[in-house]
Structure 1
Amino acid sequence: MKTTPDQLKILSIDIGGSHIKATILNSKGELLKNYEKVVTPIPASPENVIKSIKTLVKDFPEFDKISVGFPGYVKNGVIKTAPNLGTDLWKDYDFAKNLGAALGKEARVVNDADMQGLGVVNGKGLELVITLGTGFGTAVLLDGNLLPHLEFSHQPFGKSASYDKYIGEAALEKEGVKKWNKRMQKVFEVLKTVFNYDYLYIGGGNSDKLSFKLDKNMKIVSNADGIKGGSRLWKLEEAPKEQPLLTQ
């Protein structure tokens, strides 16, 4: 019997600079199992990452499709940049094709913040999603639809070469939580001015280190919520065709 879209079981994977997480979702984005994780391999080459994913999911229940959130710029399933994994290793690598071949199912790959955005937004107005982890990720959605991905994290900020270097994991460890929070307040002011968003969602492993009061239209979301975007990725008529607007 052919599986209908409403019956799809989707392996949803979130690749980060420190961990790779995965779960299986139904078509509504509901978890069919608790998500599990493994440490991101070093070096994080495509071959090593695929090997880690195969190890992670070897005892998972059966699934029909694969969704992946990747920490870099992705175009039609092909990796263009991977700042926190090693761009030299990943540039022009067809991750969707090769991961699909390795696991025997069709795969779609998008930027990790984009996938998180699909999982957390309410679909009304202009919504901005940011992730605070190894680096700084962003996704912009209008009425629930992904807009072209911006590599906003590569833009200079203050005296720093990029947002990644200004508020990423390395900056947090070097400057400490108190100074990092001051930096985050400056970043939020810029985001308000640049995007004029209706709502801002804040995810990533370092979001729980924010110590100041957020505006009413700002909300911290969990990685578990974000990984649910893997189901919505397969509700799109075709895989998102990301085109760069602001890249360095």
Structure 2
Amino acid sequence: MSKKHGHPLGIDVGGSGIKGAPVDLDQGAFAAKRLKILTPKPATPEAVIEVIGQIVEHFADEVGDAPIGVTVPAVVTHGTVRSAANIDRTWIDFDGERAMEKALGRDVTLVNDADAAGYAELHYGAASKEDGLVILTTLGTGIGSALLYDNMLVPNSELGHLEIDGYDAEKRAASSIKDIEGLTYPQYAERLQRYYEVVEALFSPDLFVVGGGVSKDAAEFLPLLKLRTPIIPAVLQNKAGIIGAARLAAEAAGTWLPAKD
């Protein structure tokens, strides 16, 4: 918790909705029911920050003066957004962290959404007992990724944008493509097989963790993959981004330390 009171707030900015909840970091769980507000159209930085402000106000009693972690589906370096594969292009080179801190009047940590999800799975989920290199991928509108090595996050890996067989990987293997092309799970597994075997050859990970909405159906496609590396579904599913963002924010602000991890 913060020096005064309150749980840190995690906020996950997505293409269709902006979701937030205060997080109990000792438990790795929401401390109150999640609030979701539709993502504004167009999702400019100013419009998104206004919605984030509404979420902060909604949880004012639970959060107090605690820090806020915010995810975006983009590369983020030192608080500045550097890409816009699946968000409004006006975010590119926008100092989102500073703008949010100015608008909200409190500490903010801005982070890539897959990195936040990976960090949560590392400490509370599927990767919590794994040493070495863990690669989390989120299969959704695109493909997000997080590299986790010996309990450390290596940010902004963007493995969904590897060029494989002449294609940007997520244009062939994101779960949105499965829906658009009407692929069966066995057909989709063929796409994933090619994707994961390339990533495996490049990085030789100790574990793959698969997140994103489609992970709830992991039993339909993960057993069809033939890899050297174990591959398992994420545990926290769509809660992971919020939980990971809140923990990263609390650690950055120095307001919370784990009792035992």
Per the normalisation by structure 1, the TM-score is 0.84
How has the CA–CA distance of structure 1 residues 4 and 25 changed in structure 2, closer, same or farther, with 3 Å as cutoff? same
Once the 2 structures are TM-superposed, how far is the Cα of residue 236 of structure 1 from its aligned partner? 4.1
Once the 2 structures are TM-superposed, how far is the Cα of residue 58 of structure 1 from its aligned partner? 2.8
Once the 2 structures are TM-superposed, how far is the Cα of residue 73 of structure 1 from its aligned partner? 0.5
SS class of match (1:206): helix
Once the 2 structures are TM-superposed, how far is the Cα of residue 237 of structure 1 from its aligned partner? 5.5
Q: Where does structure 2 lack aligned partners over 5 or more consecutive residues?
A: 123-127, 224-228, 255-261
1:132 aligns with one of 139, 144, 149: 139
Q: Distance in 2 between matches of 1:16 and 1:9?
A: 22
Q: What amino acid does structure 2 have at the position aligned with 1:76? A: H
1:181 aligns with one of 180, 189, 198: 189
Matched, 1:18 2:16: yes
Q: Distance in 1 between matches of 2:169 and 2:135?
A: 16
Q: Distance in 2 between matches of 1:71 and 1:22?
A: 15
Give the structure 2 partner of residue 163 of structure 1: 169
Q: Where does structure 1 lack aligned partners over 5 or more consecutive residues?
A: 240-248
Per the normalisation by structure 2, the TM-score is 0.80
Q: Distance in 1 between matches of 2:214 and 2:253?
A: 32
Q: Distance in 1 between matches of 2:230 and 2:174?
A: 25
Whether the 8 Å contact between 2:118 and 2:240 is mirrored in structure 1 is: no
Matched, 1:225 2:225: no
Cα deviation, 1:33-75, whole Å, max 9, x if unaligned, reads 1222122221111011112222334321342101012101100
How has the CA–CA distance of structure 1 residues 23 and 129 changed in structure 2, closer, same or farther, with 3 Å as cutoff? same
Q: Distance in 2 between matches of 1:213 and 1:164?
A: 17
Give the structure 1 partner of residue 60 of structure 2: 61
Give the structure 1 partner of residue 199 of structure 2: 191
Whether the 8 Å contact between 2:7 and 2:22 is mirrored in structure 1 is: yes
Report how many aligned residue pairs link the two structures: 235
Whether the 8 Å contact between 2:109 and 2:252 is mirrored in structure 1 is: no
Q: Percent same amino acid at aligned positions?
A: 32
Give the structure 1 partner of residue 259 of structure 2: none
Whether the 8 Å contact between 1:41 and 1:48 is mirrored in structure 2 is: yes
Greater share of helix: 2
